Amino acid sequence: MTKILFTKEISTEFLKQNLSQEMDFDVVNFLEIKLNSKEEIEPFVDNSIPNYLITSQNSVEAIKDLDLKGYFYVVGKKTAEKLIQNNFKVEIFKNYASELAEFILVNESPKEWIFFCGNNRREELFEKLIPKGHSIKEIQCYKSNPISHDLKGKNYDGIAFFSPLGVKSYLESNKILPETIIFSIGKTTSEEVKIHTKNKIINAEIPLVESVIESINNYFYVAK
């Protein structure tokens, strides 16, 4: 039976419902997420800046009780949906930070932004927007820290990764066999995998857990 490892916390019931019945799986969470409290975040919010950048569902969870009246420019469909569920105003969402930056450069004049992010946020928005006259105030609202798990040499036909830090965390105590297929949620995660291995990598069509699962089902179905 095909065996898959998921390297983030995903509901077992969800996986049973969506993963092919011909597959077995393990779920091992290689990241710990700690949200900052409302009291830790609120003093840094400048209400004169009504333009917000957000790239993670974790950020939404951290800020959901804040009174923010501006407009959110978002990376990720699920992140945008979660903002809307919490009565925030979403102006636009894109699948990747680079795509969001390009949208802003085409459609917005230079302005100030508040970026709600984690301690391992990436540089794309800063690198693309700041040289064009935009300014970004960064407010850290959660921390993601690696959790080391030694899987004692367990072998998998496929491993699903969901962040660059998750890749690094997995490799602290484990190896990837040359024949293992890597399933990646997106470009930046795949770039990190390529640093460490030459294994076959299959990117999800869109950066969603559901799309990763679809790519796993499609790959092993076709392979058979």
Strand partners, 182: 159, 201
Q: Do domains 2-30+147-223 and 33-144 have the same CATH topology?
A: yes
Using CA atoms, how far apart are residues 21 and 77, in angstroms rounded to an integer? 27
Task: Tell me the CATH class for 2-30+147-223.
Answer: alpha beta
Ordered by start, the domain boundaries in the chain are 2-30+147-223, 33-144
Task: Tell me the CATH class for 33-144.
Answer: alpha beta
Using CA atoms, how far apart are residues 34 and 110, in angstroms rounded to an integer? 33
Question: Tell me: the pLDDT tens digits for 91-112?
Answer: 999 999 999 999 999 999 999 9
From first to last of its 224 residues, what are the pLDDT tens digits of the chain?
Answer: 899 999 999 999 999 999 998 899 999 999 999 999 999 999 999 999 999 999 999 999 999 999 999 999 999 999 999 999 999 999 999 999 999 999 999 999 999 999 999 999 989 999 999 999 999 999 999 999 999 999 998 999 999 999 999 999 999 999 999 999 999 999 999 999 999 999 999 999 999 999 999 999 999 976 54
Strand partners, 54: 74, 116
Q: What is the side-by-side order of every strand in the sheet holding 89-94? A: 31-35, 135-146, 112-118, 51-54, 71-75, 89-94
